Structure 1
Amino acid sequence: MAARKEIDGSASVPAFYGKELRWKREAVGLTLRQAVEGSFYGVSYLSEIERGQRRMPLDLAKHMDQVLRTDGFFTRRCEDVRKAKRGLVAPYFEDALEMETHARDIEEWNPMLLPGPLQLEPYIRGIILAVDPLEPEVTVKAKVTARRDRAWVFEDAAGPASWAVLHESILREPIVEDDAMAEQLAHVAAVARRRRFIPQILPCNAGAHPFMMGSTFFMSFSDAPPMVYTEGMFSGQLIDDPGVVTRYQQAYNRLRAAALSPAVSLRMIEQAAEDYGNGNHARRRERSRLADEQLQHGT
């Protein structure tokens, strides 16, 4: 039998919280399985909370307070733990980021940008500096590193099964120089070719479709209910209501039906990368600019 691993409660607020949870559970003589009985969560989920590796959802905190008879202790303090974990990502994305590391499957919709774990440094820099041109270089570098650290989501063989629907404008409207865009799209295609994720392109002429708004992604787990995360420019929301999650999933299924097939989408990504690399995209852009000028001058 593996030796029991002690928890260092001084390592972080989540570790302190988890250690207290384990102590209370063991004090009343409950196993992990007995403690989660009657909740929607699995044994591994609770174990990771006790080790400071996972956040405590509010509904599970209420369940543990009831089971352990702790008078609301864990319910009152789970928000404190969440606040203590702030770092280089936006506060509203922190919980989703943590859940991402435990997801079994991820399905994503992006109307304007490539998914974060697929982004290379020039693309990441372009996004960061577009939001805040005065961002200190040391912070930019740290944010780039933090985002590249998420590459495992799409590139690790042990990562979640992933599906991404991307709007065609992501391929046609570059946010970095053409050579960097060529490298970026070639990277996306290479990851897809290794069967690490399935891409679908929603064409510009698709008309009205679900999710005509900000990015959305779904996460399903082996030991917890599914979740939806939606994000706008300066806000994000995690949704766990089963009925609402189901409606989002149904809408996503309709979105996938409106998108091009994975095989056609992958060829389109590869062609876009080639066009940026050989100058075709720049030439088309110049022809379009000249046509617009002629139209404006009535010639």
Structure 2
Amino acid sequence: MAKGSHGSRQAAWEFFGAELKRRREDAAFTQVELGARVFVSGGYIGQFEQAIRKPQLDVAQRIDEVLQTGGFFERMWRKLIKDKRYAEYFEAAAELERLATDIFEYAPAVVPGLLQTPEYARAVFVASNPLATDEYIDELVRARMERVLLLKDATRPMYWGVLHETVLRIPVGGPDVMARQLDHIAAMVREHKVLVQVLPFAAGAHPEMGKMIWLMEFEDAPPTVYTEAVLSGNLLDDPAVVKRTRASYDLIRAAAKSPKATLTLLESAAKDHRRCVSST
């Protein structure tokens, strides 16, 4: 999305927040009082009003009910939240990702989006959309690379990823693309932009086998877990769920190779893929 388009979208969300504040005050509710009625914290209401955080659809609907606004906030949400760069179920997670101070991720089969190269991302998108036009795939790759910029920013969040060894061995895009992908991850580790560990095949059974884990923590909001299934995703901030997920992640991290050993394995796996290139 062009910068001007992003600016227009942000201005629209600021209008959403300004209207929310105006109508809340007209109804004589404090942020805490409105939050209690729509089942979020008063701090969340303040972040909505400042366009720092965007409400989920069900929250916008409850705001309409409490403030008796005739569906105004739901209609605005449906108009503003549509972003063709991302699947609808991922849009809210993509917004929160930009606000996170810490991101913890476990990837059982695919290189996490924030660590992907353009060539790797393209191969993933083409595999899922074999009949799509080049223009459509290009737009998906651009959106993915825009997310990647998050880890290049000086104010980037602390990122800690655990990759199952499966991720290193599947030659996504072919062995040459895969080798360069692993080189890219290794370079990010050496440059101290990310922390990465690999959970080896030898680790055997582990918590949440086959399931991705994506935890996000924020400066002034509760931590959130994002989970994903076939064409669906969920943001979960129930404290008990987040605590249990964090415990599973910690167990996975404890079973993984050390960051130093992981770097060696990344380099070795890249060499293995290059041998496949040279042998063809």
TM-score band (shorter)?
A: 0.7 to 0.9
Structure 1, unaligned stretches of length 5 or more? 1-6, 287-299
Match of 1:221 in 2: 218
Match of 2:18 in 1: 19
Letter paired with 2:104: E
Match of 1:85 among 74, 81, 84: 81
Q: What's the CA shift for 1:154?
A: 2.6
Match of 2:268 in 1: 271
Change (3 A) 1:102 1:246: same
What are the within-5 Å matches in structure 2 for residues 156-167 of structure 1? 156-167=153-164
Structure 2, unaligned stretches of length 5 or more? 1-6
**Partners of 1:57 and 1:78 within 8 A in 2:** no
What are the within-5 Å matches in structure 2 for residues 36-115 of structure 1? 40=41, 42=43, 46=45, 48-57=47-56, 70-71=67-68, 73=69, 77-78=73-74, 81=77, 84-86=80-82, 87-115=84-112
Question: How many residues matched?
Answer: 271
Q: What's the CA shift for 1:272?
A: 1.9
Secondary structure, in 3 states, of the residue corresponding to 1:102? coil
Letter paired with 1:55: K
In the TM superposition, what whole-angstrom CA distance separates every residue of 1:176-210 from its partner, at most 9, and x where no partner exists?
A: 12222121111111111121111110101211111
Q: Within 2, Cα distance between the matches of 1:221 and 1:273?
A: 34
Identical columns (%): 38
RMSD, matched Cα: 3.3
Q: What's the CA shift for 1:78?
A: 4.7
Letter paired with 1:77: F
Residue 172 of structure 1 pairs with residue 169 of structure 2: yes
Match of 1:124 in 2: 121
Runs of 4+ in 1 over 3 A off after TM superposition: 7-12, 25-42, 45-48, 57-66, 73-80, 280-283
Change (3 A) 1:10 1:105: closer
Match of 1:293 in 2: none
In the TM superposition, what whole-angstrom CA distance separates every residue of 1:95-118 from its partner, at most 9, and x where no partner exists?
A: 111110111111001011111021
Residue 208 of structure 1 pairs with residue 205 of structure 2: yes
Q: Within 1, Cα distance between the matches of 2:211 and 2:102?
A: 20
In the TM superposition, what whole-angstrom CA distance separates every residue of 1:222-280 from its partner, at most 9, and x where no partner exists?
A: 11111101112322111111111111111111111111111111221122223333x26
Query: Which entry has the higher C-alpha Rg, 1 or 2?
Result: 1
Change (3 A) 1:109 1:226: same
In the TM superposition, what whole-angstrom CA distance separates every residue of 1:4-48 from its partner, at most 9, and x where no partner exists?
A: xxx989954x44422211222455788879977996453xx5455
Match of 1:239 among 217, 236, 241: 236
Change (3 A) 1:39 1:263: same
Using structure 1 for the length normalisation, give the TM-score.
0.78
Match of 1:144 in 2: 141
Secondary structure, in 3 states, of the residue corresponding to 2:230? coil
Letter paired with 2:48: I
Q: Within 1, Cα distance between the matches of 2:109 and 2:15?
A: 40
